[in-house]
């Protein structure tokens, strides 16, 4: 069974409406969450027929077509698993075909899910397996773009706003960030600030960004409206918190190969003077990576270890809105989203709301030839040394 990812459910209320049908409101995420929990309980009790009945009712319900394709695919995938476990291989393959037709790409689950073992020698399954692997073997895709090459246009030096800037000083004072960070070693202070952002706001991938997009306003809106924000806004808060405390940091947009895939992920990178390197920090998931010996890693190192299979340990306590995160699931998600990497040229308070912004993207060599500037005027480079230069 493919457990529905609630982070995806929060992106799930897609705008698709069948043109010949009246609009039907999609089910709220809470309803889907409760239903998914019920199905998991039935799975544990091996009550697959009952689970299949609930899933089939969901697939035929009003508003189902308005859910994100990923969510619809997950429902049909679970229907395939139930039918497979009940010994109904033809029915299972039909459901699986529907899931693949809706864009199923969860290769991490598909490749090892024992619920589908009764189907694995079926010719139809092998054909569907090839499609899912091509879409969702994210480590395999990342390996295709592992190499960098000619630098192209020079990359201007990234700049970082000084902590005594009025807005940053106000953020530091208002949020009592000195107390948040504590007086411990540098890495401990860096992690404390990341954990603080995670605790202040919940993630809501479907939320609209409130203007102006700066840390103090984002925190106030979330408090007043009891709402969440997306990963980009969470990374913005953490970036500005780091800057206010004198750390050089950047907001980092991690992007998949498919440029039409809206599900990228935004995290924060912060420079450690003690370690002499950039560090990977994800406030959405309260997560960072180490080398298995306790040494924290940079984004570049995480990417390389995903490709090579080197030691890569997710920090203890990583979670999405309080739900523990599976290291394997998170690694697969980041493998998908570390094909292209984009940072703003200037790291400063309120940068996301400026009318003019400049970005630079680090691309691998495997991409088709493209201009050194993208459609929005941002730079494209293949030079990781310049992109990750010491600040």
pLDDT at 153: 65
Residues 6+ away with beta carbon under 8 Å from 316: none
Enter the DSSP assignment of 118: G
Could you tell me if 272 and 369 lie in one domain? yes
8 and 230 Cβ atoms separated by less than 8 Å: no
132 plus 148 within the same structural domain: no
Residues 129 and 205 grouped into a single domain: no
Q: Is the pLDDT score of 104 beyond 50? A: yes
Query: What is the pLDDT, as a whole number, of residue 8?
Result: 35
What integer is the mean pLDDT of 162-180? 98
Domain annotation covers residue 1: no
Q: Flag whether pLDDT at 313 surpasses 80.
A: yes
* CATH assignment at residue 120: 1.25.40
Is the residue at 239 inside a domain?
yes
Shared domain for 131 and 75, answered yes or no, is yes
pTM of the model: 0.80
Q: Are 60 and 73 in contact, with CB atoms under 8 Å apart?
A: no
Q: Are residues 110 and 182 in the same domain?
A: no
Asked which of 142-156, 158-172, 346-360, 361-375 is least confident by mean pLDDT, the reply is 361-375
Residue 130 CB neighbours (<10 A): 10
Determine contact, residues 209/229, Cβ cutoff 8 Å.
yes
Q: Which domain-ending residue is among 89, 119, 136?
A: 136
User: What's the pLDDT score for residue 374?
Assistant: 57
Residues 118, 84 within the same domain: yes
Identify whether residues 111 and 245 lie together within a single domain.
Answer: no
Confirm if 211 and 201 have CB atoms less than 8 A apart. Answer: no
Shared domain for 220 and 103, answered yes or no, is no
Percentage above 90 pLDDT, the chain: 72
> Residue 371's pLDDT is what?
59
| Residue 128 pLDDT greater than 70, yes or no | yes
Count of domains observed in the chain? 2
Between CA 74 and CA 68 the distance in angstroms is 10
Asked if residue 205 and residue 78 are part of one domain, the reply reads: no
**Lowest mean per-residue pLDDT among 15-19, 84-88, 317-321, 340-344:** 15-19
Q: How far is CA 347 from CA 216, 249, 281, 362, in A?
A: 16, 7, 16, 17
Please check whether residue 344 is in contact with residue 358, taking contact to mean a CB–CB distance below 8 angstroms. yes
Q: Cα-atom radius of gyration of the chain, to the nearest Å?
A: 22
CA 344 to chain CA centroid, nearest Å? 19
- How crowded is residue 347: how many other Cβ atoms within 10 Å of its Cβ? 22
Exposed / middle / buried, residue 207 (Cβ in 10 Å: 0-12, 13-18, 19+): middle
83: pLDDT strictly greater than 70: yes
Q: Residue 94 CB: number of other CB atoms within 10 A? A: 16
Q: How many C-beta neighbours within 10 Å does residue 379 have? A: 20
Is 126 exposed, middle or buried (CB count within 10 Å of its CB: 0-12, 13-18, 19+)? exposed
| Chosen domain end from 97, 116, 136 | 136
Going 305 to 306 to 309 to 314, the CA torsion angle's sign is: positive
Question: Which of residues 100, 121, 136 is at a domain's end?
Answer: 136
What is the Cα 302 distance to its own chain's centre?
A: 14
Residue 267 has pLDDT above 90, yes or no: yes
pLDDT in tens, 219-261: 999 999 999 999 999 999 999 999 999 999 999 999 998 877 7
Q: Taking all residues of the chain, what is their mean pLDDT, rounded to a whole number?
A: 89
Q: What is the pLDDT of residue 369?
A: 62
Instruction: Write out the DSSP string of 320-338.
Output: ETTEEPPHHHHHHHHHHT-
Separation CA 358–CA 366 (nearest Å): 24
CB of 90 within 8 A of CB of 118? no
73 and 150 both lie in a single domain: no
The C-alpha atoms of residue 366 and residue 233 are separated, in whole angstroms, by 30
183 belongs to a structural domain: yes
What pLDDT score was predicted for residue 368? 66
Among candidate residues 52, 50, 110, 60, the one with its CA nearest the CA of residue 82: 52
Q: Of 284, 291, 257, which Cα lies nearest the Cα of 268?
A: 284
Residue 174 lies in a domain: yes
- Please check whether residues 241 and 97 belong to one and the same domain: no
Backbone angles phi, psi at 342, to 5 degrees: -125, 135
Separation of alpha carbons 194 and 21, rounded Å: 46
Q: Is 347 helix (H, G, I), strand (E, B) or coil?
A: strand
Give the SS3 label for residue 254: strand
Sign of CA dihedral 333, 338, 340, 346: positive
Q: How many angstroms separate the Cα of 387 from the Cα of each of 163, 300, 356, 360, 376?
A: 23, 10, 21, 8, 19
Report, as an integer, the average pLDDT of 353-369: 86
Residue 100 and residue 147 share a domain: no
| Owning domain of residue 33 | 6-136
Give, for 173, the enclosing helix (H) or strand (E): helix 166-174
In order of 139, 141, 349, the CA distances from 145 in angstroms are 10, 7, 33
- Considering the domain boundaries, does residue 185 fall inside one? yes
């Amino acid at each position: 069974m493919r457990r529905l990812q609630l982070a995806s459910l929060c992106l799930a209320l897609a705008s698709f409406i069948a043109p010949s049908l009246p609009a039907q409101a999609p089910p709220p995420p809470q309803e889907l969450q409760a239903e998914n929990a019920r199905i998991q309980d039935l799975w544990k009790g091996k009550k697959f027929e009952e689970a299949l009945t609930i899933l089939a009712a969901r697939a035929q319900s009003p508003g189902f077509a308005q859910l994100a394709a990923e969510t619809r695919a997950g429902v049909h995938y679970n229907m395939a698993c139930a039918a497979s476990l009940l010994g109904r291989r033809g029915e299972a393959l039909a459901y699986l075909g529907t899931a693949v037709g809706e864009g199923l790409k969860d290769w991490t689950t598909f490749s090892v899910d024992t619920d589908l073992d009764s189907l694995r020698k079926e010719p139809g399954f092998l054909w569907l397996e090839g499609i899912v692997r091509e879409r969702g073997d994210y480590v395999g895709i990342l390996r295709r773009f592992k190499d960098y090459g000619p630098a192209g246009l020079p990359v201007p030096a990234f700049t970082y706003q000084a902590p005594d800037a009025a807005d940053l000083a106000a953020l530091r004072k208002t949020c009592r960030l000195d107390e948040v960070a504590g007086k411990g070693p540098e890495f401990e202070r860096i992690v404390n600030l990341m954990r603080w952002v995670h605790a202040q706001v919940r993630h809501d991938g479907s939320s609209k960004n409130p203007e102006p997009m700066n840390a103090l306003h984002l925190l106030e809106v979330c408090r007043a409206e009891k709402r969440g924000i997306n990963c980009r806004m969470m990374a913005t808060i953490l970036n500005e918190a780091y800057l206010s405390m004198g750390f050089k940091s950047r907001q980092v947009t991690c992007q998949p190969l498919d440029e039409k895939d809206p599900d990228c992920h935004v995290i924060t990178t912060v420079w450690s003077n003690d370690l002499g390197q950039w560090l990977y920090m994800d406030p959405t998931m309260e997560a960072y990576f180490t080398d298995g010996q306790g040494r924290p890693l940079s984004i570049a190192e995480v990417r390389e270890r995903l490709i090579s299979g080197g030691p890569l340990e997710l920090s203890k306590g990583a979670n999405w809105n309080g739900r523990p995160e599976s290291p394997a699931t998170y690694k697969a998600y980041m493998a998908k989203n570390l094909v292209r990497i984009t940072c703003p040229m200037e790291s400063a308070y309120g940068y996301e709301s400026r009318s003019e912004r400049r970005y630079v993207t680090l691309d691998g060599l495997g991409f088709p030839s493209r201009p050194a500037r993208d459609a929005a005027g941002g730079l494209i480079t293949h030079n990781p040394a310049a992109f990750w230069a010491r600040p």
